[in-house]
Amino acid sequence: MYGMRTLSEIRTEIDRLSDRRVEVMRSLSQEFTAELKAEHLELEDRIAELWEEQRNARAMLRHGDRDLIIQRARQDERLSRAA
């Protein structure tokens, strides 16, 4: 991951890469090249990573750190089994 960024920063990068993806798609529709195809695939992968990062950041803002939640759940599970 790329460190903890704000939702605004993530969204700005998604928008920037989405705009570039539109340009690449237009270029591909005019002339197919392996370079443009490779760039398109890289953009798709990076945009998907950014959406995942955004989902994780939103979840952390709403619910707290994932590792702490899992740790508490495991502790609760151990306590309920012991009881």
Q: By residue range, what is the domain housing residue 40?
A: 7-82
In a domain, 56, yes or no: yes
pLDDT (tens digit per residue) in 4-52:
789 999 999 999 999 999 999 999 999 999 999 999 999 999 999 999 9
Instruction: Compare 33 and 79 and report the one with higher pLDDT.
Output: 33
In a domain, 60, yes or no: yes
Closest CA to 53 of 34, 28, 68, 61: 61
The model's pTM: 0.74
**Tokens representing 30?**
């005019």
pLDDT (tens digit per residue) in 41-61:
999 999 999 999 999 899 888
C-alpha 32/C-alpha 39 separation (Å) is: 12
pLDDT at 61: 86
In a domain, 48, yes or no: yes
In a domain, 33, yes or no: yes
- Helix 34-63 vs helix 66-82: angle between axes, to the nearest 10 degrees? 50
- Mean pLDDT, rounded, for 71-76: 86
In a domain, 2, yes or no: no
In a domain, 49, yes or no: yes
In a domain, 1, yes or no: no
Domain tally, the chain: 1
In a domain, 52, yes or no: yes
